Structure formats: structure tokens, C-alpha cells
Amino acid sequence: WTLFPGALGTPFESHYRRVAAESVEAHFTHDYSDGRLDLVVDVDAYPSPDGGVAVFWRDVTARVRAEAALAAGDARYRALLSS
């Protein structure tokens, strides 16, 4: 928590604490987009032998934005067809 104090009180903290306490993996997606950042990450967290947590992040912003645009276009198309 010293290295990433911004994680306190967020879903990251609950996932990471569960990984450490229960020695289980956690996999989740988090949208950081807040006006300052435009970033969506897939997170894989694994318990480490020393009681810590190993975390791997993948930037999936382009994929998530493309999926959202496709879904919006599909919805518009279906609305036109049903009119």
C-alpha cells in the first residue's frame, strides 16, 4: 500500500486483499477513465509465496472502446429496422 496508496478504498484493494488472505487468483477489468486518463485495464492478480500479490495489467482500452462503438452501432441499426 506504500507503493500504491491510491488503491486504498478502491475495488483494487478488495481484490488484492482477498488474493493475499485466501491465496486465490483474481481477474477483473477496471476503467480508469476519469477525464484525466482514458485507460481500461485487465488485471490478473496472483498470490505470491511471500504473502504478497503479483499483479499484471494489460491495456485493453482500444478493444473496450471498439466493442462499445460496435454495440452502439448495432443498437442504432436495430432501432432503424424496428421503425
Q: What is the pLDDT of residues 3-32, one digit of tens each?
A: 778 788 888 899 999 999 999 999 999 888
The pLDDT of residue 61:
95
> Does residue 1 carry a pLDDT above 80?
no
Q: Which residues pair with 41 in a beta bridge?
A: 30, 59
The DSSP secondary structure of 18-68, one letter per residue, reads HHHHHT--EEEEEE--SSS---EEEEEEEE-TTS-EEEEEEE-HHHHHHHH
Q: Which single residue is written with the C-alpha cell 452501432? A: 73
Q: What is the pLDDT of residues 26-59, one digit of tens each?
A: 999 988 887 788 889 999 999 999 989 999 999 9
Question: Rounded to an integer, what distance in angstroms lies between the CA atom of residue 37 and that of residue 83?
Answer: 38
The pLDDT of residue 78:
83
